[in-house]
């Protein structure tokens, strides 16, 4: 790898880590230090900021070309994805309210296992035995971390676990519902964030509106707190932009390893700030989980690089939705789902 290319990759990874860890820490700070215990409203603020940011990047600054989607496909393909996307973000914020960042991030590492199991159970997809073997340390690490977590909260644990299921569902649905569209992270936010805002806006107002008014009256510095809350929304959009940058600046293997190291950085930074108690066995469980995730990514990459003629994992069977006619004028645009 050339020195300039290596520097760009390192810069992309560092800014991705920076935005990701900052957003997580700010959200936890909002719930814990600002006492703003309204995860639906925080998620809604993030969606609004992401909608505005994606519009500016694509329509005003024209940093990334718009991938045109037929209006009918927006409702029958994008909207279901947006619904799952919304649930995923909300569950992540709900879990942050009740459990430490370190525990929440470790549980999120369970996503590869839930994805494989869902594809096997629902879509009857075959997986190489090495894929199943790579899941053993992930599951074992999660179990060890959960049993030894000193700040365990069942509601927060369930929210994080169902968040993994939502993430897996979104990944699986993207293969069928978005088949034919080569979305990057910016175009994904451009289409999904407005739908997510529409889905979440009314529930947030009905369930948390009165609580927010009471919080606003009781908080000693509500306007400063609101600036922090909306700043977290702006950074949440910047995180999506940083993902686009890092995907196009690194290899798949580098991205996988950097993603798992990012979890370790988030756990360390959160502990330094919030000082939540972490036992020795809890740290060991987190480490085992991250090693398992790295090994899982390595196995997936090795299987994808098999020479022609070598038996490979069959593709997930397409459902009826995928067979619907699709209108797309941008097949030549580069990007990733």
Model pLDDT, residue 319 = 44
CA dist 239 → 85, 88, 183, 191 (Å):
15, 16, 16, 16
Model pLDDT, residue 188 = 86
Model pLDDT, residue 42 = 96
CA atoms of 115 and 172, how far apart (whole Å): 8
Give the burial class of 308: count Cβ atoms within 10 A of its Cβ; 0-12 exposed, 13-18 middle, 19 or more buried.
Answer: exposed
Angle at CA 52, nearest 5°, toward 50 and 55? Answer: 105
Please give the distance of CA 79 from its chain centroid, rounded to a whole number: 18
Q: How many helices (H) and strands (E) does the chain have?
A: 12, 0
Query: Are 176 and 232 spatial neighbours (Cβ–Cβ below 8 Å)?
Result: no
> Per residue in 274-284, is it b (16+ CB within 10 Å) or e — as a string?
bebebeeebbe
Model pLDDT, residue 285 = 92
> What DSSP character marks residue 313?
P
CA atoms of 197 and 166, how far apart (whole Å): 17
- Concatenating the DSSP letter of every residue in 197-247 gives HHHHHHHHHHHHHHHHHHHHHH-SSHHHHHHHHHHHHHHHHHHHHHHHHHH
In sequence order, the 6+-apart residues with CB closer than 8 A to the CB of 7 are none
One digit per residue, the tens of pLDDT, for the chain of length 337 reads 466 678 888 888 899 899 999 999 999 999 999 999 999 999 999 999 999 999 999 999 998 899 988 888 889 888 998 999 899 999 999 999 999 998 999 998 888 899 899 889 888 888 889 899 989 999 999 999 999 998 899 999 999 999 999 988 888 887 777 777 777 878 888 999 999 999 999 999 999 999 999 999 999 999 999 999 999 999 999 987 787 778 777 776 677 778 888 888 888 898 899 988 888 998 999 999 999 998 898 888 888 887 554 444 444 444 444 333 333 333 333 334 3
Please give the distance of CA 116 from its chain centroid, rounded to a whole number: 17
Model pLDDT, residue 104 = 92
Model pLDDT, residue 307 = 55
Query: Are 55 and 193 spatial neighbours (Cβ–Cβ below 8 Å)?
Result: no
Model pLDDT, residue 320 = 40
The region that residue 326 occupies, defined by phi over 0 for left and psi between -120 and 50 for alpha, beta otherwise, is beta
CA atoms of 22 and 229, how far apart (whole Å): 12
Model pLDDT, residue 248 = 74
Model pLDDT, residue 182 = 78
In sequence order, the 6+-apart residues with CB closer than 8 A to the CB of 87 are 166
Structure tokens belonging to residue 114: 């839930």
What pTM was computed for the model?
A: 0.82
Please tell me the number of Cα atoms within 13 Å of 148 on its side-chain side: 18
Q: Of all residues in the chain, what percent are helix, strand and coil, respectively (each to 5)?
A: 75, 0, 25
Q: What ranges make up the beta strands (E) of the chain? A: none
CA atoms of 288 and 285, how far apart (whole Å): 5
């Amino acid at each position: 790898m050339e020195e300039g290319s290596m520097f760009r990759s390192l810069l992309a990874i560092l800014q991705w880590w920076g935005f990701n860890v900052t957003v997580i820490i700010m959200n936890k700070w909002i719930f814990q230090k600002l006492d703003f215990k309204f995860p639906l409203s925080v998620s809604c603020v993030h969606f609004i900021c992401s909608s505005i940011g994606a519009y500016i990047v694509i329509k005003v600054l024209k940093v990334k070309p718009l991938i045109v989607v037929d209006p009918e496909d927006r409702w029958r393909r994008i909207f279901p994805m947006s619904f799952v996307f919304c649930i995923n973000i909300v569950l992540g914020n709900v879990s942050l309210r009740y459990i430490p960042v370190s525990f929440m991030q470790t549980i999120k590492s369970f996503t590869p296992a839930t994805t494989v199991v869902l594809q096997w159970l629902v879509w009857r997809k075959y997986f190489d035995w090495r894929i199943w073997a790579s899941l053993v340390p992930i599951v074992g690490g999660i179990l060890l971390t959960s049993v030894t977590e000193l700040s365990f909260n069942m509601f927060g644990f369930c929210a994080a676990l169902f968040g993994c299921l939502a993430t897996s569902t979104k990944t699986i649905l993207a293969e069928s519902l978005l088949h034919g569209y080569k979305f990057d992270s910016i175009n994904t936010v451009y289409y999904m964030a407005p739908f997510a805002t529409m889905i979440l806006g009314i529930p947030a107002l009905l369930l948390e509106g009165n609580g927010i008014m009471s919080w606003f009256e009781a908080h000693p510095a509500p306007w400063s707190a609101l600036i922090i809350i909306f700043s977290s929304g702006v950074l949440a959009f910047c995180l999506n932009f940083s993902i686009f940058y890092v995907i196009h600046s690194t290899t798949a293997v580098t991205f996988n390893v950097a993603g798992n190291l990012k979890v370790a950085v988030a756990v360390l930074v959160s502990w330094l700030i919030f000082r939540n108690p972490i036992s020795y066995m809890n740290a060991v469980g987190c480490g085992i989980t991250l090693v398992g995730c790295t090994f899982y990514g390595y196995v997936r990459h090795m299987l994808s690089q098999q020479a022609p003629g070598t038996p490979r994992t069959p593709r997930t069977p397409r459902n009826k939705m995928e067979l619907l006619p699709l209108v797309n004028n941008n097949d030549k645009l580069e990007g990733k789902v």
